[in-house]
Chains A and B, each alone.
Chain A
């Protein structure tokens, strides 16, 4: 049979895709349709360790850690000065992250901010991407409890909350370390204008300082819900699409999930970086 031309390949490919779509939707043998998955907001417990409940999102986070540490170990075995293969890819990724951090925070602070920002970015991104593997979610069920064995770690509200608390603590720590405790606190309790005798600007300065203090704490909630909401919505979207049209239709949404995972990781790390940079810069006036 002669090699099919490009046009023929496109026609055959798109008609096959259309055929699978229609077969999955019509489904006369009742084989492809899936029931709508039971949506559970809190993560389900899988087993207990010394009286401490281990949820399926915890297992997924451990899996992510094993994958990331394993990748780093394999990439740094027999390191060469001129890298090739996996070491090359990992070095390129780390260098891109480092340039990003240095570009926003400046030369001097980029070095000290880099480990935390890069860890947050890599952890969130790998959590989001590994949750798309076939054995996550409804892939493997535990027979006794009827719950999935693994579930993306970002869909449990505890992980985004933990990362938000870590980012909050480190931003405050960096600010206090760079400016000293009193100068850093004077950013928020800004009574310098009042003491100097300017009444109106002094009062506005004081209120602006208090607003900034409140917004420091509101960041905890906003970080948590941004990441949690995006990841939960992505998981529900995939479940809903597979329920509506079982075959083929999910593929563009997997692409969307990959993109959103990357963007949310970038936003979490990038926002932490921006707030840290703002925290270490002294006030403009006074």
Chain B
């Protein structure tokens, strides 16, 4: 297989497989936050703030995968 085709395949796989984990993780975070808000609607502010913080951590991993894919494709 020639290197160009391998590069394209690698870039696609990098971001595709790399986004599975964070996607599931962010979904689980959202579930926890929704349940917490449902139980206690008055605590909406702090819950959403903490959820956003945790989602940032989870999303960072997906962004690492994206940066690797971009570097493979364009550099």
Binding site for B on A (CB under 8 A): 39-41, 222, 225-226, 228-230, 232-233, 236, 263, 266-267, 270-271, 274
Is there contact, CB below 8 Å, between B66 and A267?
A: no
Could you tell me the distance between the alpha carbons of A233 and B63 in the complex, rounded to whole angstroms?
9
Chain B residues within an 8 Å CB radius of A39: 70, 74
How many CB-defined contacts (below 8 Å) exist between A and B? 40
Is there contact, CB below 8 Å, between A226 and B63?
A: yes
Could you tell me the distance between the alpha carbons of A230 and B64 in the complex, rounded to whole angstroms?
10
Chain B residues within an 8 Å CB radius of A266: 52
CB of A91 to closest CB in B, whole Å: 22
Is there contact, CB below 8 Å, between B75 and A41?
A: yes
Residue from the set B52, B67, B71 with the largest chain A CB neighbour count within 10 Å: B67
**Taking chain A's interface residues, is the majority helix, strand, or loop, or is none over half, making it mixed?**
helix
Is there contact, CB below 8 Å, between B70 and A226?
A: no
B9 within 8 A of A: no
Is there contact, CB below 8 Å, between A232 and B56?
A: no
Is there contact, CB below 8 Å, between B67 and A225?
A: yes
With both beta carbons as reference points, the residue of chain A lying nearest to B46 in the complex is identified as A103
Binding site for A on B (CB under 8 A): 49, 52-53, 56, 59-60, 63-64, 66-67, 70-71, 74-75
CB of A99 to closest CB in B, whole Å: 11
Chain A residues within an 8 Å CB radius of B49: 270
Contacting residue for B52 out of A41, A222, A226, A267, CB 8 A: A267
Chain A residues within an 8 Å CB radius of B63: 225-226, 229-230, 233
Is there contact, CB below 8 Å, between A232 and B70?
A: yes
A and B contact pairs by CB, cutoff 8 A, 5 listed: A222-B60, A225-B64, A267-B56, A270-B49, A270-B53
With both beta carbons as reference points, the residue of chain B lying nearest to A231 in the complex is identified as B63
Is there contact, CB below 8 Å, between A263 and B52?
A: yes
CB of B6 to closest CB in A, whole Å: 20
Q: Given known contacts A39-B74, A41-B75, A222-B60, is B52 in contact with A229 (CB within 8 Å)?
A: no
Q: Given known contacts A267-B52, A267-B53, A271-B53, is B74 in contact with A226 (CB within 8 Å)?
A: no
With both beta carbons as reference points, the residue of chain A lying nearest to B73 in the complex is identified as A39
Could you tell me the distance between the alpha carbons of A222 and B71 in the complex, rounded to whole angstroms?
17
Is there contact, CB below 8 Å, between A233 and B74?
A: no
Residue from the set B52, B63, B64 with the largest chain A CB neighbour count within 10 Å: B63
Contacting residue for A41 out of B53, B60, B71, CB 8 A: B71
Residue from the set A226, A232, A236 with the largest chain B CB neighbour count within 10 Å: A226
Is there contact, CB below 8 Å, between B56 and A226?
A: yes
Contacting residue for A226 out of B53, B60, B71, B75, CB 8 A: B60
Could you tell me the distance between the alpha carbons of A3 and B31 in the complex, rounded to whole angstroms?
48
Is there contact, CB below 8 Å, between B66 and A229?
A: yes
Chain B residues within an 8 Å CB radius of A270: 49, 53
CB of A83 to closest CB in B, whole Å: 26
Q: A41-B70, A225-B67, A270-B49 provided; 6 other pairs, C-beta below 8 A?
A: A39-B70, A41-B71, A226-B56, A229-B60, A263-B52, A271-B56
Q: Given known contacts A39-B74, A41-B74, A41-B75, is B53 in contact with A228 (CB within 8 Å)?
A: no
Could you tell me the distance between the alpha carbons of A159 and B39 in the complex, rounded to whole angstroms?
42
Contacting residue for A229 out of B53, B64, B74, B75, CB 8 A: B64
Is there contact, CB below 8 Å, between A229 and B67?
A: yes
Chain B residues within an 8 Å CB radius of A229: 60, 63-64, 66-67
Chain A residues within an 8 Å CB radius of B53: 267, 270-271, 274
